[in-house]
Structures are given as C-alpha cells and as structure tokens.
Structure 1
Amino acid sequence: MSRADAARALATVWGAVRHFHPGVFGREAAWDEALAETLRKHWAGGAALDGRAAIEHLLGLLDDPCTAVVSEPGSRDVTDPERPPALRRLDDGTCVLATAEFRKVPPGGELFSVLHGMISEGLRAPRLVIDLRGTTRLFQFSALPYLLGHFIGEETPLAMTRSRQSLGLRPEAGENITEHRDGLLTAVGGSLRPQPGPPSDIPLALVVGDANEPGYAHALALRQAGRARLVHAAGPAAQAPGTVLALPEGTRVRVRTHEYVGLDGGPDLLADPADGISAAVRTLMSAPPAPSALPTWGLPPGPAAPDTAFPEREYRLLGLMKLWCAARWFFPYHELCDRPWDEAFAAALPLFEEARDERDYARATGVLTTWLHDSHAQVMSPAWLESLGGPTGIDAMVRLVEGRTVVVQSSQPELAVGDVVTVVDGTPCAERRAFLGRYLSASTPQALENAVDSLLLTGPAESTATLVIERAGQAPSTVVIPRTPPKQLTYRSHLPVFGELTEGVGYIDLVRLAASQAEQAFEEVERLPGLVIDLRGYPGNAGPQLASRLTGRRVPYARHAYPAPDSPGHTSDVVRDRLFHIEPADPGRSYEGRVAVLVDESTISQGEVVCLMILGAAQGRARVFGTATSGAVGNVTDVRLPGQSVVMFSGFSVRHPDGGTVQRKGIVPDTVVPLTLSAVRAGRDETLQAAMAHLRPSPEDPLRPMPA
C-alpha cells in the first residue's frame, strides 16, 4: 500500500465513523482528537505509515466491537443443489428449518402451503432450530411473520434502531441558513403478531448471522420476549447493522451505522459460522445462558486541539482528512469535477505535511479546494489573505477586459476609469494573476477572473500599492497609493435604483434595491411595456419579491438536491431532490411586459438563483444580456479545520427545473455583450444599451406588449 493510499484509507475509516456512527454524534471533537493521537503514534514525521495498524489503533480508541477490521467472509452458496433441504431432522430428533432454502419456492399460495406443512412437522419434534441466515427480503416481508407468529401468544414489538441522518452537511462555523441537518433518527421496527390458536411451547433456537440480513430484528424480538434462544453465528462486528469499507490491499473495515434501542441484552451465544446449528442444539439442551451484553463503545474525551494559526503536523493532516471526508460525502457536484476526488488527497498530502508556516498551510488548503471547481469553496483564516499577498486593498475595482487589467471603478484620485494596470508592486499583472489562480477555487473561467480581480491589488496592511498604469493617449506611468481598508464602492451611481429610464422602459437594480423598496419599485414600473432588471453584482433580499410580481400563476424555477447519504458506502450522489416554485404575489396584478435581465461574471450564487426565478416567472417574455454568470449555486456549508481555519463549499445543488446544469456553466445570456476597453473609457454601458434597444417600444416590433 502506497503512503498516500495508506493515509487515504485511514482518512476514509475515520470519516465514515465521524459522519455515520451513531455513537459519535455530539462527540465529534473527541473523535478528531483520536485521529490526531493515532497520527502521532503511527505516523511521526518521515516514518512509514502502516495503514492497517493505524486503523486498528484508531478503532481501538472507539472501543466498539461492531466497528472493526474484519476478514473476508466465507462463501455460502444458498443455491448449491447439494445443500440440506429446507427442513431436516438431526440424529437427536431436533428439526432444523432453513429459511434461505425457500428462495427456491415460488411466492404466493405455494410458498405458504409448503411452509405450513414444514411448520406442522417441525412442531412435532422435541426441539426446533430455525436458521435465519440468508433469509431473502421477500421471505422476510411475506412469510417470516407467519412462521415466527406460531411461537408467541401476544403482539411482540420488534427492536427499534437509532442511526445518523443527514440532510447536507451541518455547518460548523457559519449560520445554518438553509435546511442542512444532522441528527439521530430512532425508527420504530413494527411488531410480530401471533397466529390463531395457542402458541407452540416447543424449545426454539434461532440462528442469525449478519445484522444487515433480513430477519435479524425478528430474532431479537423473540429472544427479548423470552421465547427463543438466540445464536449469533458470525463475527462480533456483525452484531449491529453496518457497512463494510473495502480498502487497498484487501483491508476491510466494518463500520456500525445503527444501534438497537430498548433491548436488555444481545445473543445468548456467539458461535463460529460453521458451528451455528450445533451451537443452537447445545444451547437448547442445556440451562439457559445469560444473554451477552449488547455491543457498546467508549470514546473518552481527548485534549482540546491547540488554537494556533500553524498547528502541528498531525493537526494539519487532521485538517486535510476532515475537509476531504466532508466533501467526499457532502459536496453535491462531484460529477462535474474534472478529476476524481480521491486523487485530490494524494496531490494535497505533501503540501499539508511539508507546510513550513501558516501561510503554506493556508495555501495547501486552497489547493485542495481547487479540485472542487466551486467558487463557493473558500478558505477563511487569518493567514489566508496574507498567504496571497495581504488583506488590504485600495478604493478601486479592476476587471479583465480584452485580456488586460482595467480599472472599472475608482475613488482614488491617482486612478481613472479605463486605466490599464500592467504591474502591481513590481510583479507583472499576468504573473500575479497566474499565482492567485493556483489557489482559488472557481466554477468557471469567468468566475476565476472575477475572484482574481478582487485580490489583484491587495497587499499587507498599511502598505502602499505601486502600480504601473497605461492611460489613453499617455505614456505609461507609476502611481503609489496607500492601502487602507476600502470604502464600499457604489455600483452604477449614475443610474436610479428603480424608475423609468426612458419612455416605456423601466429599470430596477436588484443589487442596490432594499427589500423594503420592492413594492414601491414595482408600482413605478408595473404599467411600462419593458423592464430592465440589473443583476450585475450580488443582490439583496428583494429578488424573490420582484419575481413573484412577474407571474400570475405558480411556476417552477429550480430544482434543489441535498446530499443525504445514509451510510459510508454511499457518496453525495444520494440526494433528496425537490422542485421549487415561485408563487404569484397577486394573480390579478402581475407584470405582463417584456423583461431584460443584465448579468456578468459577478452574478453569483443568490444572483443566479434570482435570475432563475425571473426567467421562470417571466417565461417566454425574458431575455438575458451581458456575459455568462459565475456558475456557483447552492447555499454554502462549512468545515472548521485546526489552525483557526474555516473552509466553505456548496452544500446543495441548484439546477434548472428540467435538471439542466448551472454549476460550472453559469447562465449563458441570450445576447452576449462583452465588455470592451473602448466602452469602459467612454463610460458606455453597452449591456444596458443592448437591453434598451430590445425593449424600447417600436411600431415595427410585433411582440411589443401594450400597457394595461
């Protein structure tokens, strides 16, 4: 097993227990410390990692017999024609009924006829052993209650089970503003009902195997009722429902996923699989043994992780494993990634190990997030912005225009809109862009450009930005600008937040519109035949209110899907899918005119969702203008890592109502209007102009809606 494979196997086992073992819920911090302690003991710096030994040590700290390294199960071919019949009599007179053999009997009346005859014969024996190993699901639901109902005189409850249930990944640091949930679910198991007539009092033993097999809960119910001896003929790890993880080099680990609730004991006897029937006979011919204790676990609390910006090696590796596992099971867009997530672990491992300081550690975390291709995947730590140059910028905004870094907004007297920046602090812009691009996760190329733009001019606090600029008609010059915490630059201050721009065309800027202004804005534009909705930037909370005014009926706008794996054998492709709709605010008073939506690469996340709302509400009447949006949709969740670090990523997927992709694609305009340097310098908003030309009333336009 390679070093990276051994580390990934350890991470997989640790993550499976952390996210799916019912006993670790609420004690995740102690389990994190168990991994750190295992790494200290089994993987000191530079030493080889014995993956199996490390896994066994880690699981030893959990101390749960049902979560352990297990051997390959022996084959048990229930279709072998030379296997014993469904009912046979042993030399001592004991009858053995094997439910697995009923898979050969057609379901329905023939099955019950055959089973009734065998029960009648079995009840005439001095002792009866029912071998439940290999019971089919069909037999469990159709015939098993009938079979076992002969041995009880009153309704007998089945054991309840408790398991972890997740809807997405519950954030550890940020506010949970969506439906992400994680908790324990107790499931009622139903009951066994007695068959008509007095119950049989024949000495009865039930042989069970893996707790995942059908019939296990029924057997526990009869033992709990004192009506049967229970022989568990499998390894100790199989006494509770669980999932087996197949790891490199044949290592197999079974992880408990459920626990039984309300039982006062486990099996009467643990037996070797090959000795199951003999053990059952022995227990019937001897005094009743005390039932074994139900397998439990012990997870002692460990010391708190050190709260330092640059943690020790084992805690950095804990950070790698924690983020990798969280994304493995709860990132909703793995199918859109360029490379398998498993490969990301091997690529990031040396970066986390060899980090020399908190900046290296932050950059290593950033590299790992880039494998997700998700603009929501962001590192938040004191060292993150320092590792990329510094946290402080200037009062100016740049964008990549025609391949050049162009100032598009500025309140700095040294910079004018339209200036081209070629060098920042002695580094050519192209080189600075390439550096930043290595550490920033982005859903699309345009999203990466937007992220790089936001950091291109930043540097250390209280430093100066030395920029080489090219201004139209002038020779290149150098300007020096003090870096200070930037003021909030105002978007489109030359335009109203809402109102009539020109005859017949209304305008609403959802980036600047407050939710409290939504009703007033609608009243201003509701009788105009054309409406421009500006979504270039991140909107506030007024978008849904406006969208509800654009339709007179309930219409779908998006499909949301939450990762909801119920065992470590599943990945984030197991989802709970739901179609979302826009409800009309007033079916008798909706906007019926044509709509133009303005977007660009700064339209991200909530902006893209609002765009979907508008397109759904104004279906057939709306066109999109500008450049493709960011392509990052789905409210974020987060993971807290050692080193005062938090990493966010998309927590659920958002798609078009028909399932079409928005993530990693963006919303592509109907009319693409690229930003040009000449337009920036001239102060022309060519996207707005294209939308206005489309909407402006014209006698030649047969699609022009008439005012009400």
Structure 2
Amino acid sequence: RGPPSPADILTPSDTTGLNFVAWQHRSVGFPRDKIPRVYRPEADSVRAYRSIRLNRPPEREPLFEAHPAPGETVAKPLGRGLSVQLPLALYSQDGRTRRPEGAPSPSALRDSLGRVEAPVFETNPSLRLANVTIAWNVFQHFYPYFEVVDVDWDAVLRRTLRRALVDDESTDAFRQTLRRMVAQLRDGHGQVKGPSTLAGLPVKFDRVEGSVVVVDTAAYVDRALCVEIGDVVTSIDGRSPKQELRDAKQYVSGSPQWQEVRALRQFGRGEPGSNVSITVRQRKKEKACQLRRASGSEIDRRYRKLRTENRPPPIDTLRGGVHYVDLTRAMWPEIRDRIGDLVSAERIVFDLRGHPGLSNRKYKVFQHLAADSLLQMRIATPQFIYPDQAPRAGFRTDRGILPPRSPQITGDVAFLADARAISESEGMLAVVKHHDLGIIVGQATAGANGGINPFELSGGYTIYWTGQRVRKHDGSQHHLVGIRPDVKAERTIEGVRAGRDEVLEKALEVLRESRSAAAR
C-alpha cells in the first residue's frame, strides 16, 4: 500500500481557525531583488505582474476570483519512473503551513540555502544548470504566446541542459546558450544580457536589395576607413554575409523581420580591438579591407552618430512645405512648441522607424489628429493558478482611451515604419491603422508588443521577455505579424550611395498624389 496523497494528509476535516493558502499569478511577479534595478520603480507603481499566496497574510486581497480547490493536487512525471504529487492548496495556522506529524521543518533547508553564495560574473556547471532550470520554468508556466509559436519546449530544455554542461567557464559561452534557448520563444522582447566582452565595428549595415550593404561609417573618427557608404559586403573573415547573418539569427528571438534587424546590429561583432577582414564590392570592383573592432571608450564614441539612413533634423520643414517630425528623436516639448505649425500644415510626415522617445509614449501628438477618442490595443495579462498553464485562469484586459485635444491637425498625414518599430511604436501605429489617422509607408513592424517582465539570474545574467498578450483592434494576431504598411517602400543600393532616404521620398510622393487627387 502506497503512502497517502498530500491532499489526504493536509486537508483537515475541521478547518476552524485555519487559513486557506494557494498561489495566484498575474503573469508572474518576481522578488524585487530579482528585477533589474532600472525596472524596479515601474514594477512598484504599475504592479502589472504579481504573484501572491492567498491569505498569506490572512485576509489578503486576491488578484482575481479563481483559485485551486481545497485538496486539489497535480501529478507530474519526472522521468526514470519517478513522479511528483503536489498539493495546489493548503491550510496554514499561525503563519505556517500545516504538515504531517513528524515531517521535517523547512527551516533547515532555508538556512542552508541562505548560506549559499552565488558567484558574481562567474560561472560553473551547477550554476549553469540551475539558471537554465529556473529560466525554462518561468517560460513553461507563464509565457503567453506558446499557442502561436511552433516549438517543442521540452526538447529545448534537453538541448539547453546539454549545452550548459559542456560550456566552458567563460560567461560569454553560457550567455550564448541562454540566448539560444530564449530565441526559440520567438519573442521580440526576448533578450539575455550579461557579462560580455564583444564589440562591434565602426560601420553600420543594412539589408538592401537582398545584400548586406554599408549604410554609414565612423569616418568622422577614423578617416583611414577603407569601406564607403553603399559598399556591398561579399565576405567577412572568409565567410559569406548570408552565413554570418544566418548564424547570428540562431541567437535572436522574434519574428523574421526583427531577427534581421538584430542580426544586422550584431554583424561583425567580436573581441574588442581585434581585426576583421572584410571584402566589399564598390560598384563593379572588389576591395579587401581590414577593420578594427572598437575597444573601451571608442565603443560609445564610434557608434553614437552611426545612422541607418540620412534623416532630416528631428523637426523640419521639407521642400514643398511638408512638415517632418521624427517621433523617435523629437521630444514632446519641442513638438508642442511647433503644434501651431503642424495645425496649419497641409502635409505632415511622422517618422516611427524605431522606438518613440520617452516623452512621446503618451500619444500626445496623436490626440491632436482625431476629433474623437482613440482606442489603444488590447493588452491582456494572463492569470494562472495551475502549473504548465493547464488551463489559464483567464486574463486581465486593459485598454487605454485617448481623448481628443485641441487644436486639431487636419492636413494629410503619412507615417514611416519598418521592423525597427517595436512594442510602443507598434501600439502607436496600430492606433493609426484602426482610426485611419494617416497612410503608413515602409515595411512591416517587428511584431512584439506587451509589457516586458525581466528577471535576474545568478552570475550577472538578466533575461527579458514579454509577459502580456497583445492583439490588434480587430482581435487578430499581432505577435510575429506586426503592423503592415499601406504602401510598401524599400531602399536601393544606388539610393544609399546617393544619401537618399527613399522611404521618406515615397511618403512624400504618396502625400503629393493624395493632395492632387483631392484637388481634382
């Protein structure tokens, strides 16, 4: 005869004076010391992600109505003939969970764990296996997008544990192992940050007409750079650029378009101060060059001014009287001071090829574009009471409403977008699309929205991921799809060499045609 189940032992017939205790999760809440420092004020004020034990302390306000039933258990196989039977709801008395007579106190285990000193910015096999186990379980139980991501998550665990065992003692090797695991989630917010010694080149790359092309250089720092804007990369350290990007994308989480953006940012990264052999095609002739990766203070100095395209100033008036506002660079106070000019403008281009500036996240300029209130995207925070999300306990759905502001902008409007527009930029463009605030020109956005829910692991690693599910205004899938443009526009190699912003040019053409059609 086997031992009685935990429910048989721990569900008393008389519950007088006892407190019912069970876990509720809104996404998942991490201890404050496991949240990256920069996110702690937001976590304290918003509290979108929380994990609580009901009635611990007594009479604690629940997060939502659902909870496991008294005596409810879950049984799970552990492998090799072992299984676990876990109670999901217990009773406590005097602040302590009731346990069978003679059961050991957990205080000894807590004391032992308290004496463990996790290495800082170091790694060893035990630490690596523990970190993989923790991170994998966070996603297993709380990641909201498994239904739209084709992945065998159990197989990912097995592969990642094997890689972690054979990683060398460098922090870079294990960081790559974690990145490869997170990449399988296809989450555009999914990143692993930690100790890294890698540095990039004093060159900016983009994919143009199917090729990797130099779109900017730090020639303002190093006039001896032998590559030029518009050069087509044909090899890097003896490898084709396609192979270099393909390998980089194994470690990038998100949609194909977002993987491309991130892989291009990492193109050619390696040991600081080391040299890279790169072959480029300058029009019809090939040229072999040596580039040196940045080191130390050069990293900031060389990268700060590199741009993907030659944009106008953040707020500008272009030829023909078209007003231009780059919402990724212009701050709201600057825009507010020019609101009179925008109100009187016949044509305006708003640039959202990237992440909006901090002061633009409140959609303030958008409220001047519509006479009626604007609805934002639906943000659904999943609620859990069972392991393995089986099933979820529902969602808490939030949706912002933006009232109109005066004065109203009534001219023709175009928005520039591409895969660099992620998260809040996509929320803004979704409002544009749903409320028909203007024409979107460019390419599809990244397809990743919802609040980030980061957590820290021992050894100096931080993992970022999306804790909420976001859908478009019509309820259709946004994750991996993004906001698609009304008018597609792409760059050409000749345009890059000439310093043209062809996506902006296309938007100006669309606005010009729209004005001409209205005049007829």
* TM > 0.5: yes
TM-score normalised by L of structure 2? 0.82
Contact 1:467 1:478 (8 Å CA) reproduced: yes
Deviations 1:139-158 (A, max 9, x none): xxxxxxxxx9xxxxxxx988
The residue matched to 1:364 in structure 2 has which SS?
helix
Give, in whole Å, the separation in 1 of the partners of 2:478 and 2:514: 34
1:449 is displaced (CA, Å) by 1.2
Q: How far apart in 2 are the matches of 1:502 and 1:615?
A: 27
Please tell me whether the aligned partners of residues 242 and 255 of structure 1 are also in contact (alpha carbons under 8 angstroms): yes
**1: distance between equivalents of 2:249 and 2:355?**
22
- Residue 83 of structure 2 is matched in structure 1 by 251
1:509-524 maps to which residues of 2 (within 5 A)?
Answer: 509-524=326-341
Change (3 A) 1:295 1:622: farther
Q: Could you give the per-residue CA deviations for residues 358-402 of structure 1, whole angstroms, max 9, x where no partner exists?
A: 33322221221121011221111114xx5xxxx222332101222
Q: Deviations over 1:327-363 (max 9, x none)?
A: 1122121112111322221222211122233333222
Contact between 1:605 and 1:634, CA under 8 Å: does it hold in 2? yes
- The SS at the match of 1:166 is strand
Q: Does 1:566 align with 2:385?
A: yes
Match for 1:465: what amino acid? V
Following superposition, the deviation at residue 312 of structure 1 comes to 2.8
Structure 1: distance between partners of 2:103 and 2:377: 47
- The counterpart of 2:49, out of the listed 180, 192, 196, is 180
What residue ranges of structure 2 are gaps of 5+ in the alignment? 62-66
CA contact (8 A) 1:243 1:568 kept: no
Q: Give the AA of the match of 1:553.
A: D
Q: Distance in 2 between matches of 1:265 and 1:665?
A: 46
Letter of the 1:603 counterpart = A
Q: Could you tell me which residue of structure 2 aligns to residue 126 of structure 1?
A: none
1:198-220 superposed Cα distances (whole Å, 9 cap, x missing partner): xxxxxxxxxxxxx976xxxxxxx
Is the aligned partner of 1:528 residue 2:345? yes
The one-letter amino acid paired with 2:283 is: A
Q: How far has the Cα of 1:703 moved from its partner?
A: 8.6
- Checking the alignment, whether the CA contact within 8 Å between 1:329 and 1:563 is kept in structure 2 is no
Q: Does 1:537 align with 2:406?
A: no
Gaps of 5+ in 1: 1-67, 75-131, 134-147, 149-155, 191-210, 214-239, 271-291
1:377 aligns with 2:190: yes
Alpha-carbon distance in structure 2 between the residues aligned to 1:615 and 1:622: 8
Alignment counterpart, residue 251 of structure 2, candidates 421, 439, 452 = 439
Query: Do the aligned partners of residues 697 and 241 (structure 1) sit closer, same or farther apart at CA in structure 2, a change above 3 Å counting?
Result: same
Whether 2:40 is the aligned partner of 1:170: answer no
Does the alignment pair 1:465 with 2:276? Answer: yes
In structure 2, distance between residues paired with 1:158 and 1:257? 16
User: Distance in 2 between the 1:157 and 1:516 partners?
Assistant: 61
| Structure 1 Cα separation of the partners of residues 459 and 82 of structure 2 | 35
Offset, 1:263 = 9.2
Q: Does the 8 A contact of 2:25 with 2:52 survive in 1?
A: yes
CA contact (8 A) 2:422 2:447 kept: yes
Give the match for residue 332 of structure 1: 144
- Structure 2 CA distance, aligned partners of 1:498 and 1:157? 69
Q: Is the 8 A contact 1:331 1:572 kept in 2?
A: no
Equivalent runs, 1:33-432 vs 2, <5 Å: 159-170=18-29, 172-174=34-36, 175-176=39-40, 177=42, 178=46, 179-186=48-55, 188=59, 241-247=71-77, 249=81, 251-260=83-92, 297-298=106-107, 299-301=109-111, 302=113, 303-358=115-170, 359-383=172-196, 386=197, 391-412=198-219, 413=223, 414=225, 415-432=227-244
Deviation string for 1:456-496 (max 9, x for gaps)? 12221122333222112443232434523133126566513
Matched, 1:696 2:507: no
The answer for the alignment partner of 1:61 in structure 2 is none
User: Residues 395 and 373 (structure 1 numbering): CA distance in 2 closer, same or farther, change over 3 Å?
Assistant: same
Q: 3-state DSSP class of the match of 1:533?
A: strand
Residues 353/242 of structure 1: CA separation in 2 closer, same or farther (3 Å cut): farther
What is the aligned partner in structure 2 of residue 501 from structure 1?
318
Count how many residue pairs are aligned between Structure 1 and Structure 2. Answer: 480
Q: 1:422 to 1:570 in 2, by over 3 A?
A: same
Match of 1:451 among 257, 262, 273: 262
CA gap 1:683/1:212 in 2 versus in 1, 3 angstroms: closer
TM-superposed deviation, 1:504: 5.3
Secondary structure in 2 matching 1:317: helix
Kept after mapping to 2: 8 A contact 1:161/1:189: no
Deviation sequence 1:658-682 (CA, Å, 0-9, x none):
2222211121111111222222223
CA contact 2:75–2:86 (8 Å) conserved in 1: yes
8 Å Cα contact 1:348-1:368 kept in structure 2: yes
Cα separation, 2, equivalents of 1:448 and 1:596: 26
Question: Is the contact made by 1:548 and 1:582 (CA closer than 8 Å) also made in structure 2?
Answer: no
The answer to whether the Cα contact below 8 Å between 1:424 and 1:465 also exists between their aligned partners in 2 is: yes
Aligned to 1:656: 472
In structure 2, C-alpha distance between the alignment counterparts of 1:627 and 1:572, rounded to whole Å: 37
Aligned partner letter, 2:498: A
2:487 counterpart (637, 649, 671): 671
What SS is found at the alignment partner of 2:24? strand
The secondary structure found in structure 2 opposite 1:637 is coil
Contact 1:499 1:525 survives alignment (8 Å)? no
Q: CA RMSD in A?
A: 3.5
Please state if 1:635 is matched with 2:471: no
CA shift digits 1:7-59 (9 cap, x unpaired): xxxxxxxxxxxxxxxxxxxxxxxxxxxxxxxxxxxxxxxxxxxxxxxxxxxxx
Moved more, 419-428 or 400-409: 419-428
* Amino acid aligned to 1:367: R
* Aligned CA distance change for structure 1 residues 653 and 212 (closer, same or farther; 3 Å): closer
C-alpha displacement at 1:318, in angstroms? Answer: 0.8
Further displaced range: 241-250 or 394-403: 241-250
Q: TM-score, normalised by structure 1?
A: 0.61
Q: 1:369 to 1:527 in 2, by over 3 A?
A: same
Q: Which whole-Å CA distance do the structure 1 matches of 2:175 and 2:95 have between them?
A: 48
Q: CA deviation at 1:418?
A: 0.7
Deviations along 1:546-598, one digit per CA (max 9) or x if unpaired, are: 22222232221201111321232635854423242241252x43323332111
SS at 1:476's partner residue? strand
Shift of the 243–409 alpha-carbon distance from structure 1 to 2, 3 Å rule, reads: farther
Q: Distance in 1 between matches of 2:207 and 2:98?
A: 67
Task: Work out whether 1:686 is the aligned partner of 2:496.
Answer: no
Q: Distance in 2 between matches of 1:341 and 1:264?
A: 35
Give the AA of the match of 1:255: P
How many angstroms does 1:540 deviate by? 0.7
Q: Which residue of 2 is the match for residue 93 of structure 1?
A: none
Structure 2 partner of 1:25 = none
Aligned equivalents of 2:391 and 2:234: distance in 1? 43
Quick one: distance in 2 between partners of 1:471 and 1:694? 32
Residues 441, 503 of structure 2: 8 Å contact kept: yes
Aligned mates of 1:396, 1:341 — CA distance in 2 = 37
3-state SS of 1:654 partner? strand
User: How far does residue 325 in structure 1 lie from its aligned partner after superposition?
Assistant: 0.6
Please tell me the residue identity of whatever aligns with 1:423. Answer: S
Q: What is the identity percentage for the equivalent residue pairs of Structure 1 and Structure 2? A: 22
Task: Give 1:244's aligned amino acid.
Answer: V
What letter is aligned with 1:404? S
Separation (CA, whole Å) in 2 of partners of 1:570 and 1:539: 34
Q: 1:511 to 1:463 in 2, by over 3 A?
A: same
